[in-house]
Chains A and B, each alone.
Chain A
Amino acid sequence: MAGMNVRGDFPFMKRKLVYLDSAATAQKPKKFIDSVKNYYENNNSNVHRGVYNLAEETTGLYESAREKVAKFIGANGKEIVFVRNATEAINIVAKSWGAKNIRKGDIILLTQMEHHSNIVPWQMLAKAKGAKLVYVPITKEGELDRKEFSRLIAKKPKLFAFTHVSNVLGTVNPAKELIDEAHKNGVTVLVDACQSVPHMKVDVKNLGADFLVFSGHKLYASFVGVLYAKRELLENMEPVFGGGEMIKEVTFSGASWNDVPYKFEAGTPNIEGAISLGVAIDYLNKIGMAKIAANEKKLIDYCYSELKKNPLVTIYGPKKRAGVISFNFGDMHAHDVSSVLDEQGVCVRSGHHCAQPLMSVLNIPACARVSVGIYTTKNDIDEFLIALNKAKVVFRL
């Protein structure tokens, strides 16, 4: 396992921690950090406002970041909306597209493996509209039950919203096949790509997604979110937030909306966040997403097979997976696992991972989770495995 040899690009690695929580948020490359610093030292001004040179320059940087994001996922710049985070992106779709298109008695189809951010906005919408939420079940192996999916999608729900990669199970859902089948039934599709975009090449045109959301901070960049929507959908959606930037003209009696995507970006956006997301994308493109995916697969496969050898470990989800491995250890609660690992400098997430409904399907209160990023090495996995063995001693297992 040669690895990526990129650790030197990440100043955080000087802390000598074994950081295995990239699925929660990824560490940042120096190029990204420098670009944030450079922004405040040399480019700080508001966008789409001033006509002086500096403001033009900053607007140019902000808009070229939008183009970079668009190109990265195979979209057009007009289809990219910068938002606060992926959760906000889903909420915008629910509050705008949902409010217009979901009616009493309609079905919104989700899956059992969704993050709270792809459940709660739909629950709120369903409650307001008198619509019904239906969840595609998962199999024993932790994969989407395709037979049930086919049965449920044939009922022609108004929307199917699903996660591309489960943040708990690591399951990689066959997004293209699911979307094709949904479209054959006339169903609009939203993809939560938070856990796929950092780990593999995602192309919205190839997938055919109507909406796709992801977050910058899991992509080695800033705390910004990205909402992708097909242009014709965006054109027909009402803005959710009103204010500056999203308008064309305002009078005392009313206002008209700006063009897409600006009508969804009310107020001053996270300018340096968007610009530096573009820089992080440049960095990732230089390495190549295919290479990143191949390296992470090796690490995940290695970690999975080592954990499988340990009779005290219960792993959740299928063998074929991306990015994460969630598990429980003996009769230890996941927080205790995480605490003992923490004492040895190993950072893993524990808890319900914002997926309480999935925890109830798995019939567990919580689990611990290892997740990898481009800087993760085999040594990190080995350190984690050694630390886990110490947990066995601490808990007299």
Chain B
Amino acid sequence: MSEMYQEIILDYYRHPRNKGVLPHPDIVSHDVNTSCGDEVTMHVLIKDGKVGNIRFSGKGCAISQASSSMLTEYVLGMNVEEVAKLSKDDILKLISIPISCVRLKCALLGLKVLKLGVIQYLGKTVKAEDEI
């Protein structure tokens, strides 16, 4: 029971890594899950086409906040083009917990926010296949 709430999720929820804001970010992206009110903001500093620094802030359930925090660690140093291509499966692999379909939106909020920010930074338009 409650396999969603494994120690690692609770740990990231209670001790979020990379939580906060950056003073002069290249990317500021924010979104909310309208149905539940979870919100995430991502601040990203780009250095040589890569994620040089990243912070997230927000409020919401353990799943949305922990997965956002884990995502910031995952993308640090990653090429922005690659970040733009991250998918739902990448997140599910990253957090590696069984997610019920009602909670999928929570798990994917951080990625949604980050991808939108990165795609806009790259000057591209958001296409249907970019939606997660």
Query: Do A336 and B37 touch across chains, with their CB atoms under 8 A apart?
Result: no
Query: Do B14 and A336 touch across chains, with their CB atoms under 8 A apart?
Result: no
Asked if A339 is at the interface (CB within 8 A of a chain B CB), the reply is: yes
Q: Taking CB as reference atom, which chain B residue is nearest A335?
A: B61
Asked if B5 is at the interface (CB within 8 A of a chain A CB), the reply is: yes
Asked if B101 is at the interface (CB within 8 A of a chain A CB), the reply is: no
Contact of A351 among B37, B62, B63, B102 (CB under 8 A): B37
Contact of B2 among A340, A356, A359 (CB under 8 A): A340
Query: Do B59 and A365 touch across chains, with their CB atoms under 8 A apart?
Result: yes
Asked if B128 is at the interface (CB within 8 A of a chain A CB), the reply is: no
A335 and B39 alpha carbons, distance in the complex (Å): 13
Contact of B37 among A339, A344, A356, A396 (CB under 8 A): A356
| Given A351-B37, A366-B36, A394-B1, A333:B10 Cβ within 8 A | no
By a CB distance below 8 angstroms, the chain A residues around B61 are 333-336, 339
**Among residues 88 to 116 in chain B, which have CB atoms less than 8 Å away from a CB atom of chain A?**
100, 102-103, 106
A396 and B14 alpha carbons, distance in the complex (Å): 11
Asked if A321 is at the interface (CB within 8 A of a chain B CB), the reply is: no
Query: Do A343 and B2 touch across chains, with their CB atoms under 8 A apart?
Result: yes
A360 and B61 alpha carbons, distance in the complex (Å): 17
How many A-B residue pairs have C-beta atoms within 8 angstroms? Tell me. Answer: 50
A356 and B39 alpha carbons, distance in the complex (Å): 13
Asked if A332 is at the interface (CB within 8 A of a chain B CB), the reply is: yes
Query: Do A331 and B14 touch across chains, with their CB atoms under 8 A apart?
Result: yes
Asked if B75 is at the interface (CB within 8 A of a chain A CB), the reply is: no
Contact of A336 among B59, B62, B100 (CB under 8 A): B62
| Given A333-B62, A356-B37, A365-B60, A339:B14 Cβ within 8 A | no
By a CB distance below 8 angstroms, the chain A residues around B63 are 335-336
A141 and B65 alpha carbons, distance in the complex (Å): 31
Asked if B38 is at the interface (CB within 8 A of a chain A CB), the reply is: yes
By a CB distance below 8 angstroms, the chain B residues around A334 are 61
| Given A332-B62, A365-B59, A340:B37 Cβ within 8 A | no
Query: Do B37 and A366 touch across chains, with their CB atoms under 8 A apart?
Result: yes
A351 and B98 alpha carbons, distance in the complex (Å): 22
By a CB distance below 8 angstroms, the chain B residues around A394 are 1-2, 5
By a CB distance below 8 angstroms, the chain A residues around B35 are 351
Subset of 12 A-B contacts with CB under 8 Å: A333-B62, A335-B63, A336-B62, A339-B100, A340-B5, A343-B1, A344-B1, A365-B37, A365-B59, A365-B60, A394-B5, A395-B10
B residues apposed to A, CB below 8 Å: 1-2, 4-5, 10, 14, 35-38, 59-63, 65, 100, 102-103, 106
Q: Closest 3 CB pairs between A and B?
A: A335-B61, A333-B61, A394-B2
